[in-house]
Amino acid sequence: MKLRTHTIPLPTDYVSEQRNKGKRKKSRCFIEYFYDIEVGEHNSYSFYAKSWEVSKSTAFEWVKEFNEALEIFDTARELRRKVHYEKAIKKDDGELCPKSSRTNRTIANERIEHNQEPNISEIQESSRTNRTIANEPSFNIINNNKEDSFLDKGFYQFISEIKMTIKNIGNIDDIYKSYLKVKYLIDLKTLSKIYRDYANETSSDRKVGLAKFLDDLIYLSYCNPYIELENDGSNLTGIWDKEKEIFITKDKNYSLSISRYSELIDENKIKIIKYVLQEN
């Protein structure tokens, strides 16, 4: 009997999420859609509607959601590959190892045209056709090594969501290196919001990538510092609204001009805890 050993990595985070919500049928449909992409079988919305026993509009929405989940999965695997490659270089005392020849998959959603029903899934063919789960661990397996602590779902999802709404955000490696410098000062949710605001109000010819947005401190214009301030022997915490020149604490508001703020910074009487969104 011929042994059947061909396997593929499966985005089990999304599958588990749907099963935990009691949507086992949807999770099975996702696995079917994912497998069709892996083997290059392109089908129409009507095909999936019939196969999944749902309406055509529901099939359309599910395919859109499945593609978003796969975009996160692909971003995660690409970042994991790069980190693995960089660590291989370090452990080999700087001797370069050949890069993987595997290309990134890209998933394109096609619109349904009148009187024409296009196939849905379009991907670039992988140069590696025989992959194993042992070689390509599932996305939901997080390395607990401290050096790999950034390999979490939050960062992948942040990058994926930004890429789906903003073009040309820059090199992911550069973004990560820049983010490391400020990760304790600004959370990903805040960074996502202010970079979107920046991109929406900045012309494409002047817009910079996310790494430069952080390195050049452009992000500071879109948020306010949450600080600890030494005042008459006691410490106060709150938000400094630089536009209104007001220091807002839980109990009271204080006038705090830009010049005075700078003086207190120079005197080491202000500690910036983090940056938060500006209130309208």
**Residue 214 in this model has a pLDDT that exceeds 60:** yes
Residue pLDDT, tens place only, 226-238: 999 988 888 899 9
Residue 138 lies in a domain: no
b/e per residue 224-261 (b: at least 16 CB within 10 A):
bbbbebeeeeeebebbbbbeeeebbeeeeeeebeeeeb
Per DSSP, the three-state class of 273 is strand
In this prediction the pTM is 0.51
Confidence of residue 88 (pLDDT cuts 50, 70, 90): low
* Cα distances (Å, whole numbers) of residue 24 to 18, 19, 29, 48, 178: 6, 5, 9, 16, 40
Q: Which among 220, 249, 268 is the end of a domain? A: 220
Is a pLDDT exceeding 90 seen at residue 2? no
pLDDT above 90 covers a percentage of the chain that reads 34
- Residue 124 included in any domain: no
The reply to whether 207 falls in a domain is yes
Q: Is 50 exceeded by the pLDDT of residue 177?
A: yes
Q: Which residues pair with 247 in a beta bridge?
A: 240, 254
Residues 212, 164: one domain? yes
What residues make up the domain containing 49? 12-88
In the chain, how many domains are there? 3
Q: Which of 34, 60, 88 is the last residue of a domain?
A: 88
Q: Give buried/exposed letters for 114-147 (b at 16+ CB in 10 A, else e).
A: eeeeeebbebeebeeeeeeeeebeebbeeeeeee
**What was the pLDDT predicted at 216?**
92
Tell which of 184, 199, 220 closes a domain: 220
Alpha helices in 4-102 (DSSP H): 12-20, 24-39, 45-52, 56-91
Question: Which is more confidently placed, 13 or 109?
Answer: 13
Say if 256 falls within a structural domain: yes
49-84 tens-digit pLDDT: 999 999 999 999 999 988 888 877 777 667 766 665
